[in-house]
Each structure stands twice: as structure tokens, then as C-alpha cells.
């Protein structure tokens, strides 16, 4: 992690606490929200991995909405892992080089079971992608807010959704 030990420990504790809550949150189940963590989970503390596993397991059958949170994630690392896996599968004759297209690449990403994001909510006042979902964000809409992620309120979330609703998506056209 490229943050101070103190900040990482604080974030890990915050993640663990929230994933424990999410695993049993009535709203998650009532609204059939599939919870998933994208990233290198093997880098996380065991107690956080267990909290994440419970949240993911308790919602794995849902597909009405998706709540994906990137933890120990880097877009470049994700692309490198996908390239290596594709290369290995070509070498082992599981796929042919000429079959490599956008859909195939997408199947090798951490986000494979999910659609590309329609809206990316960027917190902390930074106006940059920050190595986040580099492939998947090709046609996403972005909403930037000065609020930091842990302090994001429902009202601020609704502002992002409303901003998205007012846009006319063109998907690169």
C-alpha cells in the first residue's frame, strides 16, 4: 500500500466494521444488492478477508444492483494480471490469439461478472482516475465531490445520482 501504516490500519478497521454491517444489512437483502470486493484480497488482514467473504457470500445470488468496492486494487495491476492470464491461455491452446477482443479481455478482469460502471463517484476532491478501473471506465460518467469516502452521506450520493440522471450518454459517439 502506498499510504502510511497508520492510515492503512485505520482504513482496514473501517472496512472490516462496515463489511460486517453490510453482511447483515436488511437493505442489502431487501434490494437484492450483490456486494463484491475488487482487488488483491490476499494482501488484506485475515479478519477483513473474513468480513468480506461473509458480505459477498450473503449476497452472491443477487443481481438487481451491484455494490463493488475496490480494496488493495490497482487498474494497471488488474490489466497486467489479465494480460498474463490471456497469454497463458493462448500458450496452452485454451484460446486462439485471433479470438482476443474487448469481450474476451473483459472476462479476465476482476469485474468479469459485472457490467461496466455507468457512474463512478470520485471522492476527496481529486479530479483524476487514480489508476481505477482503467479498462472498465471507457464510457462511464464521472461525478466528483470534495467529500472523503468515509464521510459520504446519502444526500451527497443522491446528488451524484441526480447529476447522472441529467446527462445524455453517448458512449464515445
* Model pLDDT for residues 121-137, shown as the tens digit of each residue: 999 999 999 899 999 99
Segment 46-85, tens digit of pLDDT: 999 999 999 999 999 998 998 888 888 999 999 999 999 9
How many whole angstroms separate alpha carbon 49 and alpha carbon 150?
19
pTM (2 decimals)? 0.76
For 127-150, give one letter per residue: b (16+ CB within 10 A) or e: eeeeebbebbeeeeebbebebeee
Assess contact for 23 and 58: CB atoms under 8 A: yes
DSSP 38: E
13 is written with which cell numbers? 478497521
Contact call for residues 58 and 19 (beta carbons, < 8 A)? no
Amino acid at each position: 500500500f502506498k499510504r502510511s501504516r497508520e492510515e492503512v490500519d485505520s482504513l482496514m478497521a473501517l472496512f472490516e466494521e462496515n463489511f460486517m454491517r453490510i453482511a447483515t444489512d436488511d437493505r442489502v437483502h431487501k434490494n437484492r444488492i450483490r456486494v463484491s470486493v475488487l482487488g488483491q484480497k490476499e494482501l488484506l488482514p485475515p479478519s477483513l478477508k473474513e468480513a468480506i467473504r461473509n458480505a459477498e457470500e450473503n449476497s452472491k445470488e443477487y443481481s438487481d444492483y451491484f455494490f463493488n468496492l475496490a480494496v488493495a486494487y490497482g487498474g494497471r495491476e488488474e490489466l497486467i494480471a489479465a494480460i498474463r492470464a490471456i497469454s497463458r491461455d493462448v500458450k496452452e491452446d485454451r484460446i486462439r490469439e485471433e479470438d482476443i477482443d474487448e469481450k474476451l479481455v473483459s472476462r479476465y478482469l476482476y469485474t468479469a461478472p459485472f457490467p461496466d460502471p455507468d457512474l463512478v463517484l470520485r471522492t476527496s476532491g481529486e479530479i483524476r482516475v487514480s489508476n481505477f478501473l482503467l479498462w472498465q471506465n471507457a464510457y462511464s460518467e464521472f461525478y466528483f465531490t470534495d467529500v472523503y469516502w468515509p464521510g459520504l452521506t446519502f444526500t451527497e450520493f443522491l446528488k451524484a445520482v441526480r447529476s447522472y440522471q441529467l446527462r445524455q450518454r453517448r458512449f464515445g459517439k
